[in-house]
Amino acid sequence: MTSIASAVKRTFGEMTADQKQVDLQRDTVDPQKGHSSAGMTTMHGMPFDNTQTWLKATQPEGTGPALLEDQVAMEKIHRFDHERIPERVVHARGAGAHGHFHVFDDRASKYTFAPVLTDPSRTTPVFVRFSTVQGPRGSADTVRDVRGFATKFYTPEGNWDIVGNDIPVFFVQDAMQFPDFIHAVKPEPHNEVPTGQSAHNNFWDFFSLQSQTTHTVFWAMSDRGIPRSFRMMQGFGVNTFTLINAKGERHFVKFHWTPELGVHSLMWDEALKIAGQDPDFHRKDLEEAIVTGAYPKWKFGIQVLPESREHEFDFDILDATKIWPEELVPIEYIGEMTLNRCVDEFFAETEQVAFCTSHIVPGIGFSDDPLLQGRNFSYLDTQQSRLGTNWEQLPINRPVCPVLNHIRDGKHQSRITKGVNYWPNRFNTIPPTDEDKGGYHEFAQTLHGMKLRTRAPKFQEHYSQTELFYNSLSVVEKKHLIEAISFELSHCDDPLVYKNVIPQLNEIDHELAKAIAINVGGDMPPEPKRKSHGKRAIRISQMDFMPEKPLVKSRRIAILVADGFDIDVVEGLRAAMKLGSASTFIIGPRRGKISGATGTTSVMADHHFEGQRSTLFDALFIAPGAKSADTLKKDGRVIHWVREAFGHCKTIGAVGEGIEVIRKALQDVEKISLAPLAGQTDDATISYGVVTAPKISLSSTVTDVLMVGK
Ligand code: HDE
């Protein structure tokens, strides 16, 4: 198997006809031509070949003063000076990819007439941007944070954006609280610390004073806050939207993305280490999966409620701090999205893409969710400050359908429109688009009441679903959550903060609050005022999202070898992993030729032991071969590879003499036994994720277990 590291040619995946149509709109320059000096021009198009040397008043040896008259040099410097634009005020760090979306059939037509959700003959091109929230553009990928999951659908009825997150709820209920919340979570104003983290006084101070944040903070402090990959995250529209069908009936809806690969997270220790070892881990992971053809996929689901059921629940369905539990409102899966093409230029695509919650298409509408109403203003407004007027005309933002209106001029206008710029006019008094022709019309909603700054009664209750979330986690997930909150509070140096947080936690779960109080030095809480309901919900725990069949697709497997290793076994393993679309990497004492046991064959190592760390892989395999094992056993870094991978509960495999390396590395781990277990075949042993086999080349057991991933 060729490793990704040595892949010389980047592939951009297959483009569907509809994606090509989107691409025709782009001013993409052929990279080959764009980079040859013969084809270079100034910004006004004048051919020019020397972009390296400033014009000089030459003296002997060409060392004279540089001349101000060199317009070409000045243009180059001037454009460089202006390369930066303001980064996004939140979600500044992101990674994007192109793909396509289709629905399975027309079953959603009972809810909506939007063809993007009902016409199975359509393939809709999409662009997705994943992001972290708190950190700046240059921050690390694996920090604990909510992840953005924003999707732009390029439909013939206009662009539709679902600007979602990987967590189904939000911290605050009303958009007017957003600036306060973001100020609290962002780095503290006096020293701009910390970067990409919520582990600081201001965030937890806000948490202790705003019980509405507890639900989302619990999701973020759970393993959901440190995903293994963007490709292994769920996506949620969070806000409540509406769907309108051909009969004019309205339903409330929540949008869901469910990943094919299941929902997986890093361990906190891994996340911390990777933030330093490879700050671009998630960005590279997305690209690697697409380049190797292991295209990321999500099923698209909707939770739908008719208007008549709006008030049926003990929570308000328009409150973005609440989920609609799936046992009450099941998800209907209606479509699928595949990401199959990397971006060609990060800035032009991923940085300049502009999502707006207000971008909807006929058949889809808003609701009175107060967070959504505020978002509809904010996204439109923020694009102006990031990208300037006419940002909709940037190639990545351009709709694939014709755009016609009487909005004109402004900076960077790139469209030339013939004719009058007002309506009605003497040439045309008929509206160009009306409802009968599929035009968008607001739903005629009945309203009555007083104008007040207020919140609906069910918006006042904040703890019930936080407890529901906590109760629904597995034992391990609960432990991780307690550790995560303890870690964060340990970074708060104002005792007032961590002392105030404990009573807030106590309202959610008494045992949790006590455990955290002990860890961080808070006061032991009394029995809580609120009575616990003890309920659990389905599909909250990540354990509920395991793929039906275990998948090794796109997993990264490190194979540790040294001179004298058994090539046949290693090649057998690589072939088996390739079949499952996993990637294998040879890690050896040096990045170069490593010879096999016979001495006549060899492989090229992709990395040397010091060049990578176990944290960057999903599984480890130790090659057999007496001489190889002897070298590996004596290398402290190799021993660390094995111990660290074991500590992170990764699958570790070994055959023959390779087992000795594991034995040496894990000799003081009492629980591990490498003797055959009851029910296992004689030649293969599985214990605590460690799979060993004395002599087989590659038993199905090894393959199966590696397939389980972590
Ligand atoms: Fe955002 N949010 N947000 N947000 N948000 C932005 O828009 C805002 C909220 C989300 O990859 C900004 O273009 C307000 C919920 C994503 O380009 C800004 C409120 C959810 C992205 C903004 C929210 C999100 C943003 C900054 C409270 C999950 C990145 C740059 C009412 C459903 C999109 C930009 C991308 C970005 C405002 C709450 C998700 C300032 C006022 C809830 C994924 O407009």
Q: DSSP state, 178?
A: H
379 CA: nearest ligand 1 atom: 44
Q: By three-state DSSP, how is residue 710 classified?
A: coil
646 ligand 1 Cβ < 6 A: no
244 ligand 1 Cβ < 6 A: no
CA distance 217 to 233: 17
Residue 339: both structure tokens together = 């990401």
164 ligand 1 Cβ < 6 A: yes
Q: How far is the CA of 242 from the centre of ligand 1 (A)?
A: 19
Q: How far is the CA of 628 from the centre of ligand 1 (A)?
A: 52
Question: What radius of gyration do the chain's Cα atoms show?
Answer: 28
Each as own residue / partner, the long-range contacts of residues 382-387 (CB below 8 Å, 24 or more positions apart, any chain) are 382/88, 382/89, 383/354, 383/356, 385/86, 386/85, 386/86, 386/87, 386/88, 386/354, 387/85, 387/352, 387/354
Residue 345: both structure tokens together = 């230029």
Q: How many CA atoms lie within 13 A of 478 on its CB side?
A: 16
Q: Taking residues 162-186, what's their average pLDDT?
A: 98
What is the band of 63 on the pLDDT scale with cuts at 50, 70, 90? confident
Q: How far is the CA of 513 from the centre of ligand 1 (A)?
A: 31
Q: DSSP state, 326?
A: T
Q: Which of 476, 630, 648 is nearest to 558 (CA)?
A: 648
Amino acid at 120: P
Please identify, in words, the CATH class of the domain defined by 461-544. mainly alpha
* Number of helical (H) and strand (E) elements in the chain, helices listed first: 20, 19
170 ligand 1 Cβ < 6 A: yes
Q: Look at 697 and 541; give whichever has higher pLDDT.
A: 541
pLDDT digits (tens, 9 = 90+) for 219-239: 999 999 999 999 999 999 999
Q: Where are the beta strands (DSSP E) in 435-484?
A: none
pLDDT digits (tens, 9 = 90+) for 487-528: 999 999 999 999 999 999 999 999 999 999 999 999 999 999
Q: What are phi and psi of 454, to 5 degrees?
A: -150, 170
Residue nearest ligand 1's atom 14 by CA: 375
Q: How far is the CA of 15 from the centre of ligand 1 (A)?
A: 29
373 ligand 1 Cβ < 6 A: no
149 CA: nearest ligand 1 atom: 43
What is the band of 673 on the pLDDT scale with cuts at 50, 70, 90? low
Query: Do residues 191 and 183 touch, judged by C-beta distance below 8 A?
Result: no
Phi-psi region of 538 (alpha: psi -120 to 50; beta: other; left: phi over 0): beta
CA distance 55 to 74: 10
| % of the chain at pLDDT higher than 90 | 80
CA distance 51 to 55: 10
Residue nearest ligand 1's atom 31 by CA: 175
Q: Taking residues 102-120, what's their average pLDDT?
A: 98
Q: Which residues are catalytic?
A: 91, 165
Against a cut of 0.80, is the pTM above it? Answer: yes
624 ligand 1 Cβ < 6 A: no
pLDDT at position 678: 44
What is the band of 387 on the pLDDT scale with cuts at 50, 70, 90? very high
Domain ranges of the chain: 1-35+84-431, 461-544, 549-708
Using CB atoms within 10 A of its CB, is residue 312 exposed (0-12), middle (13-18) or buried (19+)? exposed
Q: In 103-252, which residue ranges form alpha helices assigned H by DSSP? A: 115-118, 178-185, 201-209, 214-221
CA distance 667 to 342: 44
Using CB atoms within 10 A of its CB, is residue 455 exposed (0-12), middle (13-18) or buried (19+)? middle
Please state the ipTM of this predicted complex.
0.97
DSSP string, 598-633: TSS-EEE-SEETTTS-GGG-SEEEE---HHHHHHHH
Residue nearest ligand 1's atom 16 by CA: 148
pLDDT at 335 over 90: yes
Q: What kind of fold does domain 549-708 have according to CATH?
A: Rossmann fold (3.40.50)
What average pLDDT is seen over the chain?
90
Q: How far is the CA of 92 from the centre of ligand 1 (A)?
A: 10
- Candidate from 62-76, 266-280, 377-391 with smallest mean pLDDT: 62-76
Note the Cα 603 to chain centre separation in Å. 35
Q: How far is the CA of 323 from the centre of ligand 1 (A)?
A: 19
What is the band of 427 on the pLDDT scale with cuts at 50, 70, 90? confident
Residue 126: both structure tokens together = 């999409």
Q: Where are the beta strands (DSSP E) in 51-171?
A: 94-103, 124-132, 147-155, 158-165
Residue 233: both structure tokens together = 């995250």
381 CA: nearest ligand 1 atom: 44
pLDDT at position 501: 98
Q: Which of 119, 127, 113, 120 is nearest to 160 (CA)?
A: 127
Q: By three-state DSSP, how is residue 216 classified?
A: helix
89 ligand 1 Cβ < 6 A: yes
179 CA: nearest ligand 1 atom: 41
Amino acid at 214: T
Domain 1-35+84-431 listed as CATH 3.40.50.880: no
131 CA: nearest ligand 1 atom: 11
Length of the chain: 710
Residue 60: both structure tokens together = 């002997």
Q: DSSP state, 310?
A: T
Residue nearest ligand 1's atom 27 by CA: 175
Q: How far is the CA of 382 from the centre of ligand 1 (A)?
A: 10
- Candidate from 35-49, 182-196, 545-559, 694-708 with smallest mean pLDDT: 694-708
Q: Taking residues 388-400, what's their average pLDDT?
A: 96
DSSP string, 571-585: HHHHHHHHHTT-EEE
Residue 283: both structure tokens together = 């960005």
Q: Taking residues 428-450, what's their average pLDDT?
A: 81
Packed helices 626-634 and 658-665: angle between N→C axes, nearest 10 degrees? 20
